[in-house]
Structures are given as C-alpha cells and as structure tokens.
Structure 1
C-alpha cells in the first residue's frame, strides 16, 4: 500500500524525475526511498517540518544543492484532521490544523516560486487538497475542511498571479483514498472500528469502493 505522497513520488520517479522526498519522520521518507530505488528510480530524502520556516529553507537549499540549483516540480502533499465542530474544537487544535494544512503550502510556495520564476522553463506546482474542501463527507472535521478549501482558492489565486511568469499551479482534489493513514482515521472517527469505518467510506463512494494510491 502506498500513501498519496509516496505514490506521487513513485510515479514521478518512474517517469524519469529525480525526486527529493521530505517527511516529518525520516524513517518514513527512507521507506519510500527504498521502494522507489527498488524500481530503479532516483530518490533523495530528508526530514523536515514544513510548518517551520527554518526547516523549509533548509529543505529547499538541500534540494537545490543536490540537483544543480533547480527545482522543476513542487508537490505539496501535507494534511492532518482532528474531529470537532467549531464549538467543540479548542483554539490550539484549530491553530495546529491551520498550520499543517495551509501554512505548509504557503511556506513551500513562498520559497520555491521565486526559484521557478527565475529559472529557464519555469515549473509546475501541484497542491493537494481534499474532497472535504468542497463538500461535507460525513465527518465533523471543520478545520481540515476549511483549510483544504483554502488550499483550493490559494492555488487558483496564485496561479493567476504567476501565469505570465512561467509558473503553473494546479490543485488536486482526491476523494476517499485507502492509504496507510486509514487506520489512524478509524481511531479518531470510529473508536478504532477499522472494518466499520472502511465500509462506511465505501458506501460514500459512487462506485462502492474508495480509491487506492498505486
């Protein structure tokens, strides 16, 4: 099973990209690296907290140093949800989800946009949102939904600003995807009932089954 970010890195590597994978936990990034390299792809990894300016700066600098001063593609794939509506949610939970789901996108774009603008050929940026940013999907995750909606509008607005500067921005809005994180979501939203949680997700999908990252 692949997570969304790992699957994206795998496909990019399979198509000849030299991928630079970042995760909060180095062991997770290294696991993805081993799988990509087993398929003859090229992959460099490091750990970073993309909600922190210093970490993002170090990440971008490391990527530039590794690959000749260019960043040809940026994929922002970060997310975290916590169950609660606005009345029940603590300010700390709201702030932390805002930071993870939206500030991470801003920070990475903040540092990579000038690089792409200044290099020959520009480059594309892909921001990963969620279907939860467009409609209610049966879970009380108001902060996550609000921030994933913000990612959509952030991408639209920034795309217009940079359209004439050689940088293209698109947003991907996945539906329900069966990834390694589903078990954690079942703990948060279904009291640990993984089977029942997965079945409910299947029922919410028009074809009767959630998606797979491959």
Structure 2
C-alpha cells in the first residue's frame, strides 16, 4: 500500500522527539515520507527536527526541518508560508504539539493552566487558522489530524491536561463541521499509554511501565508507530469519508 500520500505536502508539528528515540511526531513524519509526502518538520528545537530530517533522508524521502513555537501566531503563519514557498501547496496538517501537567484542579496555578491551554489547544487553533486557507487555495481541500489523548475521558489526577484534550476534541468536531463542504477533513487521534520518549524521559520505573501494558485489553505495549499509522490512515484517501472522528489508539484501555 506504499504511496498513499504521493504528491502531497504535509506539515507535522512536534516532529522531533525529546530524545533520539521515536515519538509520535517523528514516527508520523517518517511514515508520511515513506508514503510519498513531502514533509515540513516543525519543532521548537531545530536540532530535534534535523534528526528527523536525517532519518527521512536516509530513506530517500523529502523533508525540511523548521524551527517554530506554534503557540505564536506569527510562527504558525511562517511555517505555512515556508511549506508553500518550498513545495507550492499544502495538503495535510498534523497538530502534534502538547505538554502534560499532572495536577488536580485544586493544585494547579493559573500560570500552569494557561500554559497547558496555550500549548495544547491554542497552538492547534492557530496552526489550523493559517493552514486551512492555504489548503483551499493550493490543493482544493485537505486533511487535519489533531493529537488528543484518552485522558479526555480518563483524566484522574490530570485535570488541566484532560480539559485541554477535551477542548482539542471539541475543536476537531467544530472544524470538521465548519470546513467539510470545503473539502477539509478534520479528525483526532486519542493515544493511550504508549511508551514514547516523552514517557521514558521521565524515568518511568519498569513496574509502572508493566502496569500500563497490563491496563490494555490487548495486553501489549503501544509505541509511537501505532499512533503514526493511524495518522497515515486519517490523512489518506482511504479515510475520504471520515471526518469529525476521535479515534482511540489505546490497545483497548477504554474498553478494559
């Protein structure tokens, strides 16, 4: 099935990883390139995006690293302009940037709450605001994939994070309704407890990692590649009749 995204141009935000490992953004960018897309690799840390670019180049794919803080509207405008300037069109946007603040509502400060919302929600709104007109002007439509979390439904001890991901899912449905007749599909992925560099960077004990694996109905550990394959599907023509959906990729945690 290689070639699902031939001829298309994608922006993936958070396309680096916290370490040299494979996070959701890096895995998505690599798979998009394997499927024929040209990918703008957006990350706040240029060196992280450059590493992703090298991985893609080793497989003879086409990608360009781009440093941007997507909580800035000017940066979101600039990344869209760079994709258009380099490749002349924009077909796909993957909003992957996010942080997690693990606190109850009685513990979180106003500054933490506002940071959580700005990074997880405002960034997606700003990126989409500038990407959608570019998609319409250059490709006649497109696909947006937002990365949410099953914490929107199971957010114990994660009130700010859960609220932000609930907002991501509401934004996804609203944009799908607003722009569907324009040929813009908007969907979200809700990852479960996959083991990624963001998780490993916290120094997670093996006992906790094992408990996370056992929390799934399938009894197996997820990785960033599982999230990335879902993004490939939602960005491709195979999902041409799918919009406004929040797709759990969680090994069955929500049904266990």
TM-score for the superposition, normalised by structure 2: 0.76
Cα 1:84–1:120 change in 2 (3 A) is: closer
Residue 93 (structure 2) aligned to one of 56, 63, 74: 74
Task: Determine if contact 1:18/1:41 at 8 Å carries over to the other structure.
Answer: yes
Cα 1:120–1:20 change in 2 (3 A) is: closer
How far off is 1:193 after superposition? 4.6
CA–CA distance in structure 2, aligned partners of residues 92 and 194 of structure 1: 29
How far off is 1:96 after superposition? 0.4
Residue aligning to 1:123: 142
Give the alignment's Cα RMSD to 1 decimal.
1.4
Of the structure 1 ranges 163-172 and 114-123, higher mean CA displacement relative to structure 2 is found in: 114-123
Residue aligning to 1:61: 81
CA–CA distance in structure 2, aligned partners of residues 50 and 197 of structure 1: 32
Residue 207 (structure 1) aligned to one of 187, 200, 218: 218
Task: Determine if contact 2:151/2:165 at 8 Å carries over to the other structure.
Answer: yes
Residue aligning to 2:162: 145
Cα 1:85–1:163 change in 2 (3 A) is: same
Residue 133 (structure 1) aligned to one of 152, 155, 160: 152
How far off is 1:44 after superposition? 0.4
How far off is 1:40 after superposition? 1.3
Residue aligning to 1:112: 131
Residue aligning to 1:156: 173
Structure 1: which 5+ runs fail to align? none
Structure 2: which 5+ runs fail to align? 1-20, 226-256
How far off is 1:207 after superposition? 2.1
TM-score for the superposition, normalised by structure 1: 0.91
CA–CA distance in structure 2, aligned partners of residues 28 and 167 of structure 1: 29
- SS of the residue 1:181 aligns to: helix
**Aligned residues between the structures:** 205
Residue 197 (structure 1) aligned to one of 190, 193, 208: 208
Residue aligning to 2:37: 17
Task: Determine if contact 1:20/1:44 at 8 Å carries over to the other structure.
Answer: yes
Instruction: Report whether the alignment pairs 1:183 with 2:200.
Output: yes
How far off is 1:46 after superposition? 1.1
CA–CA distance in structure 1, aligned partners of residues 181 and 138 of structure 2: 14
- SS of the residue 1:177 aligns to: coil
Residue aligning to 1:39: 59
Superimposed CA distance per residue, residues 89-126 of structure 1 (whole angstroms, 9 cap, x where no aligned partner): 11111110110100010000011111122334311111
CA–CA distance in structure 1, aligned partners of residues 37 and 204 of structure 2: 39
CA–CA distance in structure 1, aligned partners of residues 175 and 73 of structure 2: 20
- SS of the residue 1:178 aligns to: coil
Residue aligning to 1:3: 23
